[in-house]
Amino acid sequence: MKRTSVRRIAIAVMTLFICGGAVTTEKVISSKIASRVEQQLPSASGISAAIPFFDLPSSINSDSIKAVRINIDEYKLKGSGTKASLAISAKNVSKSKPTQIGSLDITTTIPVFKFLKESGFNDAEVVDNALQVSVGAGGLGKALLVPKYANNQIYFQLKSISVMGSPIPATSLPADIQDQIKSRSVRDLTVPQGLKVKSVSIGSKGLSVNFHGTNISLDKLKF
């Protein structure tokens, strides 16, 4: 066998060995993070954590973990008792104090069946990332509503309306229609200390609220 071939095989074996070690390290760290989250959130289930592969070297050799993603399949929200899923993206997590996070994004999603049941509209369904409801005599019209957030409240706002396929501009409808929709759908939202609401949206999985914060202490968060 030529020396070049031997060299290539050796490089390939070493690469596999290094990558295999990195994967093992990632699994160990991710497992520890998942365990810590489970301790902090005992009512959560289906917890998984992952560190981006290319962030491993800096995460191993520094005083903080550069980035980590955590998914929670089901968590009972405080106050309402509603079960929701959580998608967490944390950056610059302190190793000496894992509950201290430099940047935190949390997306809370209420399952679509639960969300539709509590939407305030009897025949609601999710269409094109909006809530579609029947309007008018005999329910011949269809209105698309989108979620909004303001002053610690989530509510719906009219996006468009059509009657028997004919679109009607929202500006042509009674001026108080938006107030009627809001009063019927408004729900209070408790924002965890240190976080702000970035967006609210509707998708096939349900109603999602995205929170963001910097220099966060998990000890003070109460979902």
Q: Choose the final residue of a domain: 50, 70, 99.
A: 99
pLDDT at 13: 45
pLDDT at 141: 80
pLDDT at 196: 94
Q: What is the pLDDT along the chain (223 residues), one digit of tens a residue?
A: 545 555 555 545 444 444 445 556 667 777 777 887 777 777 788 988 887 766 666 666 677 788 888 899 998 877 667 889 999 898 888 777 767 889 999 999 999 888 888 777 778 889 888 998 887 766 678 888 999 999 999 999 888 888 777 777 777 777 788 888 888 888 888 888 889 999 999 998 999 999 999 998 876 666 6
For 208, phi then psi, to 5°, come to -115, 135
* Same domain, residue pair 73 and 118: no
Number of compact structural domains in the chain: 2
* Same domain, residue pair 132 and 80: no
Q: Which stretches of 128-184 are assigned E, i.e. beta strand?
A: 130-135, 141-150, 153-163, 166-168
Neighbours of 216 (CB within 10 A): 22
pLDDT at 139: 63
* Same domain, residue pair 45 and 132: no
pLDDT at 105: 94
pLDDT at 107: 95
Is the pTM for the entire model greater than 0.85?
no
pLDDT at 185: 86
pLDDT at 117: 82
Q: What sign has the CA pseudo-torsion 66, 71, 96, 22?
A: negative
pLDDT at 59: 62
Q: Is residue 206 a contact partner of residue 111, using CB atoms and an 8 Å limit?
A: yes
Q: Choose the final residue of a domain: 99, 125, 153.
A: 99
* Same domain, residue pair 17 and 93: yes
pLDDT at 124: 86
C-alpha 206/C-alpha 70 separation (Å) is 19
- What residue numbers bound the domain in which 24 lies? 3-99
* Same domain, residue pair 18 and 91: yes
